Amino acid sequence: MEIKDTLSFPLETTKKVIRVAKALLAPKATEIWWDKGVKRELHYRGKHVIKAELCIGCGMCARACPVKCIDMVPTGVKKPRAVPKVRANECIFCGLCEDACPTKPQKAIQLTDEYRMIVEPGTWDNLNQFIFEPENLDEAIEKAKKMEELIEKKKQEALKKKMEAQKKSKGEEK
């Protein structure tokens, strides 16, 4: 038995060696990606895009965030009262904020397929570079202000009308 084993062992080993050598002819599994770049899937969970004009400032994303990396920054206008700001160095890109966002049909906070974000070494000193700010915040605020003014105007007009109507009715009463 042992002699048989001793004889078959090198034979078997040689067989395995030859079979491994078959891989030398097989096509490679890796490819040179350096110049081609990497194509990510469409809903790859990459960089956040925060659309200030869509945001209603409910703060659901900040509450849903498991690592508490979303700050609600007050805007100074009523709607949105505050907009989210993501600290990218703490973010784990789970996408739960996107799930929690209630705006329809487009989400105000969205993870995009952009994934090459860090251009400099992230040290303690330049942490503030890694923050995803809301897009078009100033425009949105101005718009909101205009809207507020408009609403205010309308309100005042409505109030005036009401007053006039009251006056009229009062006059009529009189």
What is the rounded distance in angstroms from the CA atom of residue 153 to the CA atom of residue 147? 9
Does residue 23 touch another protein according to CB under 8 A? yes
CA 58 to chain centre: 16
Least CB distance to another protein at residue 61 (A): 11
Encoding tokens for residue 66?
A: 């498991």
Any residues with CB less than 8 A from the CB of 35 and at least 6 apart, and which? Answer: none
Does 60 participate in binding another protein (rule CB under 8 A)?
no
Query: Residue count at the site for another protein (CB under 8 A)?
Result: 37
Min CB(149)–another protein separation in Å: 37
Cβ atoms of 93 and 48 within 8 Å: the answer is no
Q: Given candidates 81, 94, 122, 131, which one binds another protein under the rule CB under 8 A?
A: 94
Structure tokens at 51: 């659309």
In angstroms, rounded to a whole number, what is the distance separating the alpha carbons of residues 4 and 149?
Answer: 97
Task: Show the DSSP H helices in the chain as ranges.
Answer: 2-21, 60-64, 96-100, 137-173
Among 24, 119, 124, 172, binds another protein (CB under 8 A): 24
* Residue 41 engages another protein in binding (rule: CB under 8 A): yes
Exactly one of 4, 28, 36, 104 binds another protein (CB under 8 A); which one?
A: 28
CB of 153 to another protein, least distance (A): 39
Distance of CA 118 to the CA centre of its chain: 16
Cα→Cα distances 128→32, 86, 91, 124, 132, Å: 34, 11, 14, 9, 10
- Binding test (CB under 8 A) with another protein, winner from 1, 4, 6, 124: 6
The interface with another protein within residues 64-93 (CB under 8 A) comprises 64-67, 92-93
Near another protein by CB under 8 A, which window of 37-45, 51-59, 78-86, 141-149?
37-45
User: Which residues lie near another protein (CB under 8 A)?
Assistant: 6, 8-9, 12-13, 16-17, 19-21, 23-24, 26-32, 34, 40-41, 43-45, 63-67, 92-96, 99, 111
